[in-house]
Amino acid sequence: MQIGRTGRAESTRVHPSFPEKTRIRMTADSDHTPLDLSKISVILATDCGSTTTKAIMIERTPEGFRQTYRGEAPTTVEEPFADVTVGVVNSVSEIAELSGRRLVADDGTIIRRSSPDDPDGCDIYISTSSAGGGLQMMVAGVVKQMTAESAKRAALGAGAIVMDTIAANDKRRPHEQIQRIRELRPDMVLVSGGTDGGNTTQVVQLAELIAPAKPRPRFGGEFRLPIIYAGNKDARPAVEAVFDGPGFDLSVVENLRPTMEQENLGPARDRIHDVFLEHVMAHAPGYDKLMTWTDAPIMPTPGAVGDILQTIARRQGINAVGVDIGGATTDVFSVFEEKFNRTVSANLGMSYSISNVCAEAGMDRILQWVHLDMDERELRNRVKNKMIRPTTIPQTLEALVFEQAVAREALRLAYQQHKEFATTLKGVQQQRTVGDVFSQQTSGQSLVDNMTLDLLVASGGVLSHAPRMAQTALLLIDAFEPEGFTSLAKDSIFMMPHLGVLAGVHEQASLEVFERDCLIVLGTCVAAKGEGKIGKPCFKYSISGDLSEQGTMAVGELRRFDLGPGATARVEIQPERGFDCGAGPGKAISREVRGGTVGLVLDARGRPLMLPEETSERRACLSRWIEAMDLYPA
């Protein structure tokens, strides 16, 4: 049963604009009668990652929907299997063994329950995928900072890796751009440019560059390269003429930047999803079969993660950042004031890309996080050995300390790239008052504001599998430098992709599982923004409720209090002059905070976070923080 998906255009970005998730019409039979969601009790979901296929089962219990079982198996898109469903069946079989519920039929397909009493099968099966490198796209726009950037945002929001962005003003000569297009093998190309009713020449010129370059798709000679045109509607006839040929499959959607002041990413993003299913997934080994098994369209994994984060932020009315640090890439998702952004730092990661992290950050910066004496020449070898043997794990404490230092820099760099990308629209003409002129506000301001960040969610091996929760918490705090009051959490078993695709089918179930089973709440960080002399007072605190403490934090100090999961406390902060904990510099603030596995962390190290330059002083500092957080075994 393959269900078509009817997208609805996203409202323009200047208004609150969560992409309204169209309810996926699901049918239990060929009569296309929608399923009754109240009858759904057993949900099976898989995520086909690059290396591992992870399956989870979600069941309706007296307390609501809960994740009950999980299984995993190596992903099988590569030889010798070359069929993704083999890995899916293997991972689902693990759940079947653990749960005692038969899930795989003799013909190898997923069993559906025939009645509420049926002990075998599930009610719905859904999946996400990033296997085979995921969705890889090229985008093109007329102006790099405007339409090209909007196109990139549409592609990233759809869960794609953007291989390159071609723009008329990207400083490359036309033949260099053409050569670059020829070298790449994108799954599809998104072309944008020109506001509606405006100039058509430049976007047609762009199309005229792409067509003769004849970009070759990944999946073989007979595959027609999908081109999505989302530019000036007046240029449509000319663009259609350019791509009128046997090698292309052109689709035309609404302009993703109809005016300079508006973005309209929804139609392009929906079309990317559709093309992803029709062309990319359909050609990937075994996906044609998998698509017939699922009860909703298969989503690219990062697209699903973005969706669940948006859903949570919308339902709770908060600003949130999510990060997924993998072996090769780091995805950062953010929702600030209901505006969603996603970036993929394609060469920042902890195994395949670890060497790149060291090259970009510099070994000096990484070693500033290390309190032990380490030989740089030796460390460089270790980094390269991890790169060429990505599946190894740190055995010694020293190896762990170094790896977590690298992770801090990878996360920091990825967040920096995200902040630069997640901005207000550039190129917007602004009405200015005299006051505006003095404040020097321009378009293109970062939307990311650490002071208003409410929730920071971590996933990815180095974060999720850190031996101690406190290590995950401090990795997040050091890399992201949250300010004011911020909840910290981690995705326990990388369930967010499953919940993201589930949110489109059964939002209530996805939210319940997210709250109860997906997130491990680490606790709350209260951090002061500002700089001061080490040892001088930073802020006074008074804590009541499930925790009773009071005292003064000195600049440079870090302190952790036990405040367990489910516990709450009221924290009153009186910052010193020049320090801001959320109410303004020097202004008192009081908030209710949640506990977690790490508890409550008070961070008076200042923002931006600065480490002493002198080595022995810095190591002494780090050792104090390690002790305060009980970070490593003695």
Partner 1 sequence: MAKAYTPGLKVTPRIAFRSRRLLPIAGKVLVAKGDRVTGDQIVAETFMEGDVTPFNVASKLACTPAEVPTLLSKKEGERVEQDEVIGQSKGIFGFFKSECRAPVAGTLETVSATTGQVLIRGEPIPVRVKAYIDGVVGEVIENEGCVVEADSALVQGIFGIGGETAGPLAMACKDPAEELHEDLITAEHKGRIVVGGARVTVAALRRAKEVGAAAVVSGGIDDSDLKELLGYDLGVAITGSEQIGLTVVITEGFGDIAMATRTFELLAGKRGSNASVNGATQIRAGVMRPEIVVPLADGDGVVASKASEGVLEIGSLVRIIRDPHFGVIGEVAALPAEPAVLGSGSKSRVLEVKLADGEQVTVPRANVELIEG
Chain residues that interact with partner 1, rule: CB under 8 A: 50, 73-74, 78, 87, 90-91, 93-94, 132-133, 174-175, 178-179, 200-201, 204-205, 208-209, 212-214, 238, 328, 347, 352-353, 355-356, 358-359, 377-378, 380-397, 399-400, 465, 467-468, 632-633
Q: Quick one: 394 or 612, whose CB is closer to partner 1?
A: 394
Which of 9, 306, 291, 13 is closest to 158 using CA atoms? 306
Contact yes or no for 103/113 (Cβ under 8 A): no
Q: Quick one: 209 or 309, whose CB is closer to partner 1?
A: 209
Nearest distance, CB of residue 208 and partner 1, angstroms: 6
d(CA 277, CA 178): 27
Q: Quick one: 176 or 614, whose CB is closer to partner 1?
A: 176
Contact yes or no for 139/148 (Cβ under 8 A): yes
Nearest distance, CB of residue 359 and partner 1, angstroms: 4
d(CA 401, CA 343): 27
Which of 139, 164, 131 is closest to 48 using CA atoms? 131
Nearest distance, CB of residue 560 and partner 1, angstroms: 17
Helix (H, G, I), strand (E, B) or coil at 140: strand
Nearest distance, CB of residue 313 and partner 1, angstroms: 32
SS3 per residue for 5-63: CCCCCCCCCCCCCCCCCCCCCCECCCCCCECCHHHCCEEEEEEECCCEEEEEEEEEECC
Helix (H, G, I), strand (E, B) or coil at 80: coil
Provide Rg for the chain, Cα atoms: 25
Q: Quick one: 238 or 534, whose CB is closer to partner 1?
A: 238
Q: What is the DSSP string of 222-259?
A: TPPEEEEE-S-GGGHHHHHHHT-STTEEEEE---SSSB
CA 19 to chain centre: 16
Q: Quick one: 434 or 634, whose CB is closer to partner 1?
A: 634
Nearest distance, CB of residue 128 and partner 1, angstroms: 18
Upstream peptide bond of 608 is cis (omega within 30 degrees of 0):
yes
Number of Cβ within 10 Å of residue 289's Cβ equals: 14
Token look-up 């050995």 returns 385
The three-point CA angle 496-502-504 to 5° equals 115
d(CA 176, CA 475): 41
d(CA 582, CA 42): 43
Backbone phi and psi for residue 592, each to the nearest 5 degrees, phi listed first: -85, 135
Dmax over CA atoms of the chain, in Å, equals 75
Nearest distance, CB of residue 29 and partner 1, angstroms: 32
Nearest distance, CB of residue 54 and partner 1, angstroms: 12
Q: Quick one: 109 or 424, whose CB is closer to partner 1?
A: 109
CA 504 to chain centre: 17
Q: Quick one: 232 or 423, whose CB is closer to partner 1?
A: 232
Q: Quick one: 180 or 619, whose CB is closer to partner 1?
A: 180
Q: Quick one: 320 or 354, whose CB is closer to partner 1?
A: 354
Q: Quick one: 459 or 471, whose CB is closer to partner 1?
A: 471
Nearest distance, CB of residue 446 and partner 1, angstroms: 26
Contact yes or no for 179/239 (Cβ under 8 A): no
Nearest distance, CB of residue 239 and partner 1, angstroms: 10
Nearest distance, CB of residue 395 and partner 1, angstroms: 5
Q: Quick one: 364 or 378, whose CB is closer to partner 1?
A: 378
Which of 186, 181, 127, 136 is closest to 158 using CA atoms? 136
In this structure, the strands spanning 558-561 and 599-603 are antiparallel
Q: Residue 159 has what DSSP assignment?
A: T
Q: Give the chain's end-to-end CA distance (angstroms, integer).
A: 57
Beta bridge partners of 405: none
Q: Quick one: 183 or 592, whose CB is closer to partner 1?
A: 183
Q: Quick one: 503 or 629, whose CB is closer to partner 1?
A: 629
Helix (H, G, I), strand (E, B) or coil at 440: coil
Helix (H, G, I), strand (E, B) or coil at 146: coil
Nearest distance, CB of residue 133 and partner 1, angstroms: 5
Nearest distance, CB of residue 622 and partner 1, angstroms: 17
Nearest distance, CB of residue 525 and partner 1, angstroms: 22
Q: Quick one: 107 or 375, whose CB is closer to partner 1?
A: 375
Q: Quick one: 393 or 620, whose CB is closer to partner 1?
A: 393
> Which contacts of 204-207 are long-range, i.e. CB under 8 A and separated by 24 or more positions?
204/235, 204/238, 204/239, 204/242, 205/168, 206/140, 206/141, 206/142, 206/166, 206/168, 207/238, 207/239, 207/242, 207/243
Nearest distance, CB of residue 314 and partner 1, angstroms: 34
Q: Quick one: 171 or 389, whose CB is closer to partner 1?
A: 389
Nearest distance, CB of residue 633 and partner 1, angstroms: 6
The strand order across the sheet containing 160-167 reads 160-167, 135-141, 188-191, 225-229, 248-252
Nearest distance, CB of residue 94 and partner 1, angstroms: 8
